[in-house]
Amino acid sequence: MKHIFLNLKRFDVPAQMGGVNRIAPLADWGKTIVEGTQDGLSQYDPSDVEFAMYFPEAHVLGAVGAKKADSALKIGTQGVYRGDVAVGGNFGAFTTNLPAAAANALGAETVLIGHCEERNDKMGILAEAGITGSEAAAAVNRLLNQEIKCAQAQGLSVLYCIGEKSEELDTWETVLGNQLSIGLDGVDTANVVIAYEPIWSIGPGKTPADKPYITKIAQFVKAQTNGMDVVYGGGLKTDNAQMLASIPEIDGGLIALTRFAGEIGFYPAEYLEIIRLYMNK
C-alpha cells in the first residue's frame, strides 16, 4: 500500500505577516484545503493508497468539519504530548500541550511524531540543561516513544519520522538504528509508518539525497523493522515524484510546500498534481 502524507507546518500564517498563506482567510484555511483536495483524491482506490494531512491544532476542527462522509482523507495533528488524560486520573492539567485524548476528541485519526523540527526543539531544551550528543539523542528517542504509545492508546495511527544530520553521516546506521529501536520499543507497529528525512540534504542550497542513497536507507529501515512501510520524508514534490515512485522500497512520501519559487507556499491544485505524478495517473 502507498501512503501520501501532508505536513502543513505553520503554512497558515498570512503572507503579509511573513508566512506563506495566500489561499484563504485564517478561519477558513483548514476547510479550504480539505474542500480543495478531497474530490481530486476520490479517483484513487483507498485499498491502494492512504492520504493523511497533519494540521496545526487550531485548524483540525475546520478540516474535520469539511470532510465528506466518503472522503479518502485522514485528518491529523502535528504531535501529541507524552502524557494523557485518564478516567479517574489527570483530567486535563496539560497547559500548552496537546494530549492524545484531546486530539482524538477533535476528530483527528492520525499524528505526526518525531519530525526533525520536533527533535531539534527537544534537543535544544536538553542542551540548555547541558545534555548533548548521544545522551540527548537517546532521551529524545525515549520521549518520542512515550508520545507514540499515548497516540496508540487513543486509537491514532502514527507517522514516525527518523533522519540523520550532516555531522551524523558517518554514523547513520547507529543514529537511525537507535531512532528505530528506542522509538518503537514496545509499540504496535501495525499502525505506524516510518518517514525517512535526510536532514543533511533538506533546505536551500543543499544537495538533495539521490536515488541510490534513499534506496540504501529504505532497505536498511525495512531490514531493521521486519518490513515496515517507509515513505520519503524529505519532501515529495514535482521534481522527485517519479524518481521516488521508481524505488520499490519506498512506499510513498511526505509533502510540505508545493511551490518553491515566486509566491511560495502550499496550493491544493499543485498538491494534487504531485500525487498524480507519483501515482503515475
So what's the pLDDT on residue 204?
A: 84
Q: Which residues are catalytic?
A: 115, 197
How far is 11 from 33, CA to CA, in rounded Å? 11
For residue 161, what pLDDT band results from cuts at 50, 70 and 90?
very high
Total number of domains constituting the chain:
1
pLDDT at 142 over 80: yes
What does the pLDDT average to over 31-36?
A: 98
Q: How many CB atoms lie within 10 A of CB 271?
A: 23
106: pLDDT strictly greater than 90: yes
The CATH number given to whatever domain includes residue 243 is 3.20.20.70
**CB 56, CB 108: distance < 8 Å:** no
pLDDT digits (tens, 9 = 90+) for 171-222: 999 999 999 999 999 999 999 999 999 999 998 889 999 999 999 999 999 9
The answer to whether 4 and 236 are in contact (CB under 8 A) is: yes
pLDDT digits (tens, 9 = 90+) for 4-30: 999 999 999 999 999 999 999 999 999
pLDDT at 281 over 80: no
pLDDT averaged over the chain?
97
157-21-62 Cα angle (round to 5) = 45
The mean pLDDT of 128-139, rounded to a whole number, is: 98
Contact call for residues 278 and 253 (beta carbons, < 8 A): yes
The helix/strand/coil state of 218 is helix
The pLDDT, as a whole number, for residue 203 is 85
Say what the pLDDT of residue 205 is.
84
The Cα 181–Cα 185 span in angstroms is 6
> What is the residue range of 61's domain?
2-279
CA atoms within 13 A on the CB side of 95: 0
